[in-house]
Amino acid sequence: MAYHPILEKQIEKFLSPETLSSEPVQALLQNISKSYTSFDRDRKITEHAFEVSEQEYQRATKDLQEQNNIRQQSISKLKEAIRSLDPNAPQEFSDEDDDLIHIISFLEKQILNTKQLEKDLINAKEYAEKAALAKSEFLSVMSHEIRTPLNAIIGTIMLLQYQDLLPDQKELLNVMEISSENLLSLINDVLDFSKLEEGKIIFAERNINILHFLKNIKMANRVKAEEKGNLIKIIFDDDIPEFVVGDDVRLGQILNNLVSNAVKFTKDGTIIIRVELKKSTKADVALYFAIEDTGIGIPKEKQSLIFERFTQANNNITREFGGSGLGLTIIKRLLQLQESEIYIESELGVGSKFFFTLHFKRSTTEIREEAKQHGDLKFNLAGKTILLVEDVEFNVMIAQRMLKNWHAEVVLAENGEVAVEKVKNNTIDLILMDIQMPIMDGYTATKKIREFNHSIPIIALTASVITTDIEAKAIQLGMNGCVSKPFNPNDLYAIIAEKISV
Ligand code: ADP
């Protein structure tokens, strides 16, 4: 009979074979051996259990450490991100602060702030949009309201010019014409100054007879010049092409301003309007303009300042001569927008010279040349029928008289609806279409006419200053051009002649 090895050793050591052969002793030894064996088993189970829990403990500790590392890294990344978003964030928590709850509540606060900011921004944007809309509506309404009566004045002057007048009356009429045109350009200045500030001006491309143009500028300033004992001279290069293409209104604004400043700051002196040909290629003409005077001059240190907004060289000057200090700012901006720069040379008590070079395109239109060479008599629309769509009676009268002077047949319509009917029932060569009219406006009328007639030229008439937007819309709707009221008879004739090829 085999016993537990430890018991076997003890039996060998302490029991004699006789004692071992006794049955009760053997029964006792068997029980003891069983106890040994079960003790061994229990011990192994306990040891195993202990080993397993130790391993688990190690693994759990390692997991925890890893998680802690990740957490620390996330917190520091989070802090970094918060700091880059908000430079004031470090005041809210320190570098050592690893309280995620604190950071999260800080973030919550930030998100709320951002949401509020977003709301405020949306409100501000809506407000700004409304303000911009109100401003552009105001500009459009004002430009219409102011230009309508002015249109009537300029139109009347033009009609009077067709009459036989005494030389004195002609002279007075010229002064009236120039002054009303000045008033018009002043209104244009004020109305589109904001456009200019935003750099949104689009420069028109029209034929300009430079010499004729300079003479007009001289004429416009003549009365003031004479009052101050000044003489205005034009010095003009003979090789300058007769016509160039550019924005006559803007060029007029620049030159008029410079000449009127020269007149204002000179007494018993001379003002020279100098134009030289700088460069001439097939497509491009560069002209150098200089306005020179023998007036009070501008001190060196003030010479760059006078181009700033609302700045004048000397406050006493303002009292004596008036002015807003805006003129040179507008000129500088207008030239910059045409890639040109204005310069000044001046000496106190000697005089001033303002000069710049401006690029123009070469003119390709021959109508103007013809009109110029043969005078107004060449304007001939005999045999042509023009539909004039206009609601303001005075405008109708002016345009109708102009057209009749050119021997055109004129059909009238007081609004778009009547115009559509007239086109259906008459043979019309060209339509002059006002934009703003009651019952049906010019845009809608054009759309309706284009449903059944694609070929008849339609020219938009607008009293708005900012014609470029209107022109784009007019063309998009099927119109063929745009004339701004009050129209210059030459411009009106040129566009009509171009569209119906007379
Ligand atoms: P305004 O003439 O309306 O005051 P400008 O911007 O045209 O504004 O001119 C700014 C200032 O520059 C004038 O007030 C004047 O001090 C000075 N200035 C402009 N042109 C001349 C000139 N030809 N001679 C002397 N000073 C001039």
Neighbours of 175 (CB within 10 A): 13
The H or E element containing residue 232 is strand 231-236
- Write the residue with the smallest CA distance to atom 25 of ligand 1: 297
Ligand 1 geometric centre to CA of 279 (Å): 30
Phi/psi of residue 117, each to 5°? -60, -45
- Write the residue with the smallest CA distance to atom 11 of ligand 1: 312
**What pLDDT, on a 0 to 100 scale, did the predictor assign at position 313?**
61
Domain identity same for 329 and 400 = no
By DSSP bridging, strand 343-347 and strand 351-362 are antiparallel
Q: Which residues are registered as beta bridge partners of 482?
A: 460
Domain identity same for 303 and 223 = yes
Pocket test for ligand 1, best of 186, 230, 258, 265 (most atoms within 8 A of CB): 265
**What pLDDT, on a 0 to 100 scale, did the predictor assign at position 192?**
59
Which atom of ligand 1 is found nearest the CA of 314? 16
- Would residue 257 count as lying in a domain? yes
**What pLDDT, on a 0 to 100 scale, did the predictor assign at position 469?**
63
Write the CA distances from 59 to 47, 51, 52, integer angstroms. 19, 13, 11
Assess contact for 260 and 252: CB atoms under 8 A.
Answer: no
Is residue 207 very low, low, confident or very high in pLDDT (cuts 50, 70, 90)? Answer: confident
Which atom of ligand 1 is found nearest the CA of 262? 23
Question: What distance, in Å, lies between the first and last C-alpha atoms of the chain?
Answer: 142
Domain identity same for 312 and 351 = yes
Is residue 489 very low, low, confident or very high in pLDDT (cuts 50, 70, 90)? Answer: confident
Whether 479 has a pLDDT exceeding 70, the answer reads yes
pTM (2 decimals)? 0.51
Domain identity same for 419 and 279 = no
Tell me how far apart the alpha carbons of residues 59 and 62 are, in angstroms, rounded to a whole number: 5
Which atom of ligand 1 is found nearest the CA of 329? 6
Q: What is the CATH number of the domain that holds 271?
A: 3.30.565.10
Ligand 1 geometric centre to CA of 262 (Å): 8
Domain identity same for 219 and 341 = yes
Ligand 1 geometric centre to CA of 326 (Å): 9
DSSP 447-495: HHHHHH-SSS-EEEEE--S-HHHHHHHHHHTT--EEEESSPPHHHHHHH
Ligand 1 geometric centre to CA of 325 (Å): 7
- Would residue 134 count as lying in a domain? no
Domain identity same for 188 and 276 = yes
Which atom of ligand 1 is found nearest the CA of 330? 6
Q: Which domain holds residue 52?
A: 5-72
Write the CA distances from 26 to 22, 40, 188, 370, integer angstroms. 6, 21, 133, 150
Ligand 1 geometric centre to CA of 93 (Å): 59
- Would residue 173 count as lying in a domain? yes
Domain identity same for 226 and 263 = yes
Domain identity same for 450 and 409 = yes
Which atom of ligand 1 is found nearest the CA of 295? 24
Pocket test for ligand 1, best of 189, 193, 264, 306 (most atoms within 8 A of CB): 306
Assess contact for 352 and 292: CB atoms under 8 A.
Answer: yes
Domain identity same for 230 and 272 = yes
**What pLDDT, on a 0 to 100 scale, did the predictor assign at position 197?**
59
Q: What is the CATH number of the domain that holds 444?
A: 3.40.50.2300
pLDDT in tens, 39-91: 999 999 999 988 888 889 999 999 999 998 888 888 888 888 877 877 776 66
Average pLDDT, the chain: 83
pLDDT above 90: percentage of residues in the chain = 35
Task: Tell me the two tokens of residue 280.
Answer: 């001439």
Domain identity same for 302 and 390 = no
Q: Which residues line ligand 1 (CB under 6 A)?
A: 261-262, 265, 293, 295-296, 298, 306, 312-314, 317, 323-329, 352
- Would residue 131 count as lying in a domain? no
- Would residue 183 count as lying in a domain? yes
- Would residue 211 count as lying in a domain? yes
Listed range (145-149, 354-358, 428-432, 493-497) with the worst mean pLDDT: 145-149
With helix as H, strand as E and coil as C, how does 247-298 read? Answer: CHHHHHHHHHHHHHHHHHCCCCCEEEEEEEEEEECCCEEEEEEEEEECCCCC
Is residue 200 very low, low, confident or very high in pLDDT (cuts 50, 70, 90)? Answer: low
Task: Tell me the two tokens of residue 107.
Answer: 């973030």
Ligand 1 geometric centre to CA of 349 (Å): 14
Tell me how far apart the alpha carbons of residues 251 and 185 are, in angstroms, rounded to a whole number: 11
- Would residue 58 count as lying in a domain? yes
Tell me how far apart the alpha carbons of residues 458 and 419 are, in angstroms, rounded to a whole number: 11
Is residue 326 very low, low, confident or very high in pLDDT (cuts 50, 70, 90)? Answer: low
Tell me how far apart the alpha carbons of residues 21 and 16 are, in angstroms, rounded to a whole number: 9
Neighbours of 210 (CB within 10 A): 22
- Would residue 92 count as lying in a domain? no
Assess contact for 3 and 11: CB atoms under 8 A.
Answer: yes
Total structural domains in the chain? 3
Neighbours of 143 (CB within 10 A): 21
- Write the residue with the smallest CA distance to atom 9 of ligand 1: 325
Q: Which of 245, 185, 255 is nearest to 219 (CA)?
A: 255
**What pLDDT, on a 0 to 100 scale, did the predictor assign at position 377?**
42
pLDDT in tens, 1-35: 789 999 999 999 998 989 888 899 899 999 999 99
Ligand 1 geometric centre to CA of 294 (Å): 14
Ligand 1 geometric centre to CA of 306 (Å): 7
Domain end marker among 49, 72, 95: 72
Burial of 305 (0-12, 13-18, 19+ CB in 10 A): middle
Ligand 1 geometric centre to CA of 316 (Å): 12
Domain identity same for 494 and 427 = yes
Domain end marker among 46, 72, 98: 72
**What pLDDT, on a 0 to 100 scale, did the predictor assign at position 375?**
42
Task: Report the length, in residues, of the chain.
Answer: 502
- Write the residue with the smallest CA distance to atom 7 of ligand 1: 327
**What pLDDT, on a 0 to 100 scale, did the predictor assign at position 358?**
96
Sign, CA dihedral 347-348-349-352, equals positive
Domain identity same for 352 and 390 = no
- Write the residue with the smallest CA distance to atom 19 of ligand 1: 261
